[in-house]
Structure 1
Amino acid sequence: MNWFTLLVLAVAVERVAELFVARRNGEWTLARAGVEYGRGHYPVMVALHTGLLVCCLLEPMIAHRPFLPALGWAMLTLAMLAQALRWWCITTLGPYWNTRVIVVPGARLISAGPYRFLRHPNYVAVVVEIAALPLVHSAWLTATVFTLANAMLLTVRLRCENTALAQALPA
């Protein structure tokens, strides 16, 4: 097993950790009358993120993609920065963070941490990671296909999340 395989497996383990946090947070928000929005697109999001990891492993093997140090190290740095931003978002939102769109009516919008600068910093982390992780090992086809698919999914997700927040949070 090479180091890139270990990296992708580490990202997969991190995703599983996110799901445990999301489940715990989901129970917390639902216990406070939280309302879930956008259930229909959630399975697509799970499939996209799972497919990304699988294709990150397959493309370099099948297409014999080389590790290009100048590209690989730069993309590894971006992927790691994306992970750091993601966990900054998770810790800032605390029990309100979730992989699903669950909003507690009447709660206040969080404006601390990275949310001081951007409305949806977690999605910045996702966009960067989806583009960068495959390119660590020159999987340019995976990076391109999943970046485009993620752009389409994010248009649905952002519309859903912004609508949910507008309906549930005080003005």
Structure 2
Amino acid sequence: MPIYLWAVLVMIILQRLVELVIARSNENWMKQRGGVEKGAAHYKWFVIVHTLFFASLITEVLLRNQQSFSFNYFLFAVFLLTQIGRIWCIATLGRFWNTKIIISPQFDVVKRGPYRYMKHPNYLIVGIELLVIPLLFGAWYTAMVFPMLHVLLLYVRIPIEEKAVYEHN
């Protein structure tokens, strides 16, 4: 695999690590203002699945040893669009953006930016990323498995989140 794709992969991993730092800061900020975490029991599965995603992606790329790798500009464009959407979600939520479900009765549900059009745009973006990123690297098995795991996680998470928001209002 070309070195520039390894650089893209490292950038994605670094981006996710920075996002975890932001999420932790936002979590602390919200909890200091009365925020309460809901659905904590399932959160570890998000951490496990997303960690395994990168392990699977890297392993599959190394095992495939793709000598005739061909860069796919369409997939890269879709990836860039997901990054724009991801940043839009994070910027719209500001201090309320988090990887956990944290609710506070003193804050209203955000209904602007992408949240004006759908309740959970970030979940859709992550689902697309879990498909597109592996395809961009030629990791077909990772592209098949992890979007399905994401849907299973959302099957648990979205009802918990919806219930927490409903009880909050």
Mark the CA change 1:160 to 1:67 in structure 2 (over 3 Å): closer, same or farther. farther
- One-letter code aligned to 1:68: S
**Residue matched to 1:73:** 73
**Residue matched to 2:151:** 151
* Structure 1, unpaired ranges of 5+: none
Q: How does 1:51-66 map to 2 (within 5 A)?
A: 51-65=52-66, 66=68
Quote the offset at 1:55 in angstroms: 1.7
Q: TM-score, normalised by structure 2?
A: 0.92
- One-letter code aligned to 2:7: L
State how far apart, in whole Å, the 1-side matches of 2:78 and 2:90 are: 18
Q: How does 1:110-129 map to 2 (within 5 A)?
A: 110-129=110-129
State how far apart, in whole Å, the 1-side matches of 2:74 and 2:83 are: 14
State how far apart, in whole Å, the 2-side matches of 1:80 and 1:157 are: 26
- One-letter code aligned to 1:117: Y
What secondary structure is seen at the aligned counterpart in 2 of 1:67?
coil
State how far apart, in whole Å, the 1-side matches of 2:154 and 2:5 are: 27
Q: TM-score, normalised by structure 1?
A: 0.91
Task: Calculate the aligned-residue CA RMSD, in Å.
Answer: 1.4
Percent sequence identity over aligned pairs? 34
Assess if the C-alpha contact under 8 Å between 1:68 and 1:137 holds in 2.
no
Q: How many residues align?
A: 167
State how far apart, in whole Å, the 1-side matches of 2:69 and 2:13 are: 21
State how far apart, in whole Å, the 2-side matches of 1:167 and 1:67 are: 51
**Residue matched to 2:3:** 2
Q: Which runs of 4+ in 1 moved over 3 A?
A: none
Quote the offset at 1:16 in angstroms: 0.8
